[in-house]
């Protein structure tokens, strides 16, 4: 009997070309599918809540797949972690209903972007932050965060996505942002954003625009019609995915 399995995955994204499988390149999806295929004895497609970019990290990505193997969820988690590289960990495994889709059933996602502000960035931080020691009006950036909250057309903040052609019925660029907050925590600026969905490069483009606001090049009081330069991927972490 087929079983629909939901997993929560954490990963350090530095050595991967993002979530989505790409021929000849290491990806999170490809790595997890290889392990599940070895357990199931056939190829198994693993679908995720979102396709994180190359270099992006995740504390709790959600994915799902269908198998026939009767292995108990806890044993499956242990088996997968034994076979996966140390940079990818399965935090939880559970059976779910047959039509569960981690992307289409998600009601909210939270991302965090970290900017390191001191002159010297410690090597142990380097992989997980964007080092930007230059002058910024941080108060203006914090004020500007609020203009992104609510329902908006984020076309200006979206990179071209091949799935716009594959899934034309899902090409709307309207998204709702529930919370958009920038805080100073010690030597870091931490941007946290929670919304009902995000477009390709959307969070990184918002951060790049906030940086332009901090430099005084973009007004802090209204949603810009053009985004700033895309912030580097390594500062971005997927924090959580929420479901009803």
Strands 47-48 and 3-11, bridge-based pairing: unpaired
Q: Over the chain, what is the mean pLDDT?
A: 95
For 32, phi then psi, to 5°, come to: -70, -40
Same domain, 59 and 24: yes
Q: Is 9 within the bounds of a domain?
A: yes
Nearest-angstrom CA–CA distance, 183 and 13: 24
C-alpha angle with apex 129: 113 to 194, nearest 5 degrees? Answer: 10
Percent pLDDT > 90 in the chain is 93
C-alpha angle with apex 179: 99 to 128, nearest 5 degrees? Answer: 85
Which CATH number belongs to the domain containing residue 202 in this structure? 3.30.70.660
Same domain, 91 and 111: no
Nearest-angstrom CA–CA distance, 145 and 141: 6
Which CATH number belongs to the domain containing residue 40 in this structure? 3.30.70.580
Same domain, 213 and 153: yes
Same domain, 141 and 39: no
- Domain encompassing residue 45: 3-96
Residues identified as active-site: 53
Q: Is 44 within the bounds of a domain?
A: yes
Domain end marker among 96, 115, 130: 96
Same domain, 79 and 145: no
CB-CB neighbours of 149 under 10 Å: 17
Domain end marker among 39, 61, 96: 96
**Alpha helix stretches (DSSP H) within 85-135:** 123-126
Question: pLDDT (tens digit, 0 to 9) for every residue of the chain, 244 residues total?
Answer: 899 999 999 999 999 999 999 999 999 999 999 999 999 999 999 999 999 999 999 999 999 999 999 999 999 999 999 999 999 999 999 999 999 999 999 999 999 999 999 999 999 999 999 999 999 999 999 999 999 999 999 999 998 765 555 555 457 999 999 999 999 999 999 999 999 999 999 999 999 999 999 999 999 999 999 999 999 999 999 999 999 8
Q: Is 139 within the bounds of a domain?
A: yes
Same domain, 69 and 189: no
CA 183 to chain centroid: 20
Same domain, 111 and 214: yes
Nearest-angstrom CA–CA distance, 50 and 48: 5
């Amino acid at each position: 009997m087929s079983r629909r399995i939901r997993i929560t995955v954490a990963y350090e994204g530095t050595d991967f070309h993002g979530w989505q499988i790409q021929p000849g390149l290491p990806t999170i999806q490809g790595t997890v599918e290889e392990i599940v295929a070895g357990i199931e004895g056939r190829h198994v497609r693993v679908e995720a809540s979102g396709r994180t970019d190359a270099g992006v990290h995740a504390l709790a990505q959600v994915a799902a797949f269908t198998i026939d193997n009767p292995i108990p969820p806890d044993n499956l988690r242990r088996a997968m972690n034994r076979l996966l590289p140390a940079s990818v960990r399965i935090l939880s495994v559970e059976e779910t209903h047959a039509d569960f889709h981690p992307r289409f059933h998600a009601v909210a996602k939270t991302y965090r972007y970290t900017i390191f502000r001191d002159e010297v960035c410690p090597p142990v931080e380097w992989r997980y932050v964007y080092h930007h020691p230059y002058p910024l009006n941080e108060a203006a950036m914090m004020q500007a965060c609020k203009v992104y909250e609510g329902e908006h057309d984020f076309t200006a903040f979206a990179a071209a996505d091949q799935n716009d052609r594959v899934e034309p019925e899902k090409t709307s660029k309207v998204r709702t942002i529930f919370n958009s907050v920038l805080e100073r925590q010690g030597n870091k600026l931490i941007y946290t954003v929670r919304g009902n969905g995000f477009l390709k490069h959307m969070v990184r483009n918002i951060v790049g625009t906030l940086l332009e606001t901090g430099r005084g090049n973009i007004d802090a009081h209204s949603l810009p019609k053009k985004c700033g330069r895309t912030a580097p991927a390594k500062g971005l972490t997927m924090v959580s995915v929420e479901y009803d």
